[in-house]
Amino acid sequence: MEETCLLQLLFLTFLLIHTTNQAHLTVNPSSSQLFQDQSVILRCDGGNNYDGWTLRRTTAKQHRTQCGAQWGRSSDSSCKINTMMPWDSGVYWCESREGAISNMVNLTVSGGSVILQSPVLPVMEGDDVTLLCQTKTTPSNLPAAFYKDGSLIRNRTTGHMTIRNVSRSDEGLYKCDISGHRESPSSWITVTGRPTTTAPPTTFTNLSSDSSFLQPELRLLIHLVVFCPYFISTLLMVSLYRRRATVITAPPAQAGQRSAEEFYDIEAVTSEHHL
């Protein structure tokens, strides 16, 4: 009975560990560049235990500091910075008590009059990406020039540019320029590949159309395969424990037998003496 309870506890612990999602850092407003004095909210989303995740950052002046200690206001799984300043530029991420980290976000705070609103998170191959060249005090539809890796790529009569069906070749360092308002800082745009899907075996073609049938079976199979080492190791531990218990309790029993034999020997000698 004790062995069964132990195995069930180990199995439940394993499931809880492997079903816990990693946190994902999101930024609002979702832009890699921000104006000075602008507010921003960073949040750890996706983790089952929000209390175990904290916001950290590394800047030019601070290394791996926590939200609420010297910057920002921490609340549950989020961190709000009411007034962003150029020295707040840096890398931000979520970190758990165990040391696991989320995706990292690079934020740039500009003290100038122009910023490039670009994706703060990696872009998926095949998606469309819109870049916006924005000024702090004037409308954002002014003519702008867009640059990639220092080279001019487009002149637009409006302040935005859309890259259709992005690929790995579109990855790089982007900035924009509005005549009479100077240029924006540069931001790196990352492009990631789409996850590949493997076609199911032909022998299961009919069954694969029924996801309600396959998914529980596959999930159970995965749990069993991963759980086998835990099950085997537990049985070995129980077996070793029983053997050790037998070895430890055996000597007292033998000692008790020897005491009885000595008693009978003494009794026999005493009887002969009386006779």
Q: What is the pLDDT of residues 47-59, one digit of tens each?
A: 555 557 889 999 9
- 110-142 burial, b for 16+ CB within 10 Å, e for fewer? beebbbbbbbbeebeeeeebebbbbbbeeeeeb
Say whether domain 23-111 belongs to CATH 2.60.40.10. Answer: yes
Q: Give CATH 2.60.40.10 domain extents, the chain.
A: 23-111, 112-193
pLDDT in tens, 102-147: 999 999 999 999 999 999 999 999 999 999 999 987 766 789 999 9
**pLDDT of the residue at 149:** 96
Tokens 């596959």 correspond to 218
Amino acid at 8: Q
Tell me if 193 sits within 8 A of 172, measured CB to CB.
no
Per-residue model confidence as pLDDT tens digits over 185-223? 999 999 998 877 655 554 433 433 444 434 444 455 555
**pLDDT attached to residue 114:** 94
- Would the pLDDT of 247 be above 70? no
Amino acid residing at 104: M
Q: What is the pLDDT of residues 84-107, one digit of tens each?
A: 999 999 999 999 888 889 999 999
Pick the CATH number of 112-193 from 2.60.120.560, 3.40.50.2300, 2.60.40.420, 2.60.40.10: 2.60.40.10
Q: Work out the angle between the directed axes of helices 211-274 and 2-18 (0-180°, nearest 10).
A: 150
Q: Helix or strand or coil: residue 79? A: strand
Rounded Cα gap, residues 15 and 230, in angstroms: 12
How far is residue 15's CA from residue 9's CA, in Å, rounded to a whole number? 10
